[in-house]
A = this chain, B = another copy of it.
Amino acid sequence: MATITKISPLAPARFPDLPAIDGVRLAATEAGVKYHGRKDVMLAEIAPGSAIAGVFTRSSTRSANVLDCQLKLGATVDGQGLAFVVNSGNSNAFTGRAGDESVARICEKTAEVLGVPAAHVFTASTGVIGERLPDDRITAVIEKLAGDLTADAMEDAAQAIMTTDTFAKGATATVDGVAISGFAKGSGMIAPDMATMLVYIFTDAKIGQSDLQVMVSDLNAKTFNAITVDSDTSTSDTLLVAATGASGVDVTGSQAFADALHGMMLDLAHQVVRDGEGATKFVTVEVSGAVSENDADKVARAIANSPLVKTAIAGEDPNWGRVVMAVGKSGAEADRDLLTIRFGDVLVADKGWVSPDYREEQGAAVMKDEEITIAVDLGLGDASATVWTCDLTHGYISINADYRS
């Protein structure tokens, strides 16, 4: 497999300084699961009494790790520590019973070394689908990782879980005396044989398990579930949030905390789009005036996933006819004559036709920007939705077709 080394033109300038979270220690190392000469396994140890919330892929062919995490979530025991173990290079998806056994062995080894229940160890694997996970290479490094645990290894951990990501993704927020730090990898089904978006977020806030889960599920719908690179859904997507409570600040019902968490989840989600395969444009699709949120979401996704809209953006072509097409195929209630379409601030179409004042040069100027907003008002109701995506370029084809696995 060819290595994609060129950093995305949409990457942030640098990895942010992530504050250490009281109650969380991390470590990363080289286990040689598939890659060589780079860190590929990370361990996070989380203090007893922490709340854990999670959201996972809804794929019916999800990985052994995801199935195991889903069983464990919400069944954790008070007063016992927890751990996250993640490897890159192999997704342990569609590996039958052998995949389940690999997860069990990793959890048992980690539990033994850290002195926590195996039911408190949450694993994830990202990489090739369908190859046996060499779990012995992972269990062989757990003791070393446990010895290396430190509060300041967020960036190391973010790097260890990358597959063909072109940059490590981190974000942070502080609010009302609590800190939140997190990192992510991925961009849909990211590269040849590569799968998975993984997100890990840590905070020293104090909040109950079920309150945290409700908050995270709600925010997930507006952040990670509102991005699309290529409409393909990974078998391993995992978002885990750990709240250690070490700050002593209770954030139950705190809107300020929810807003801060929302902001950094959105930041990480946008970084995933910015590392989309072959991406050269960051695109925001805003739909308003729908009769229901479900309809608004349908229209936004139809636009964001349309190969013809995405190739037009790649070609810097203000091809609003393709946006009309995508609205039409979405299945949402729409009336041609009430529709308005804007590219950036430019009114392109209204009243069932191109806007009388619109000139092609205006649209073409907007399309030259690196960040583009397409806004559609259906003119029927009050519901709205926003989805983020990237363009579809020769780079996507090269990454997924030209290089053989």
Contact = CB atoms under 8 A, between A and B. Distances in A.
Interface of A: 57, 59-62, 93-99, 128-130, 189, 192-193, 195, 230-235, 305-308, 311-312, 314-317, 319-322, 324-330, 332-337, 339, 349, 351-354, 391-394, 396-398, 400-405
A235 B94 contact: no
Contacts of A392: 307, 397, 401
A61 B128 contact: no
B60 A328 contact: yes
A297 to B, nearest CB: 15
A98 B314 contact: no
Given A307-B232, A319-B405, A325-B61, A314 B353 contact: no
B307 A231 contact: yes
B394 A94 contact: no
B130 A353 contact: yes
A221 to B, nearest CB: 17
A324 B400 contact: no
A339 B129 CA distance: 15
B321 A232 contact: no
A97 B352 contact: yes
Contacts of A349: 94, 130
Contacts of A307: 230-232, 307, 392, 396, 400
A234 to B, nearest CB: 7
A351 B95 CA distance: 9
A232 B93 contact: no
Contact of A93 (B189, B324, B401): B324
Most chain B beta carbons < 10 A, residue from A307, A317, A335, A405? A307
Given A230-B308, A314-B401, A322 B94 contact: no
Contacts of A404: 315-317
Q: What is the total number of copies of this protein in its complex? A: 2
Given A94-B349, A315-B401, 13 more contacts: A94-B321, A94-B324, A98-B353, A129-B322, A130-B353, A307-B392, A307-B396, A312-B400, A314-B401, A317-B404, A391-B401, A392-B397, A393-B401
21 contacts: A57-B328, A60-B328, A60-B335, A61-B324, A61-B325, A95-B352, A97-B352, A98-B353, A128-B321, A130-B354, A195-B325, A230-B307, A232-B325, A235-B325, A307-B392, A311-B401, A314-B401, A315-B402, A316-B404, A317-B405, A392-B397
Most chain B beta carbons < 10 A, residue from A94, A231, A315, A337? A94
A315 B400 contact: yes
A332 B233 CA distance: 14
A400 B392 CA distance: 10
Contacts of A316: 404
A300 to B, nearest CB: 15
Contacts of A354: 94, 130
Contacts of A128: 321
A317 B234 CA distance: 19
Given A95-B353, A193-B319, A329 B233 contact: yes
A398 to B, nearest CB: 8
Contact of A232 (B96, B329, B396): B329
Contacts of A325: 59, 61, 129, 189, 195, 232-235
Contacts of A321: 93-94, 128-130, 193, 195
Nearest to A61: B328
Contacts of A319: 192-193, 405
A289 B189 CA distance: 27
Contact of A332 (B60, B330, B351): B60
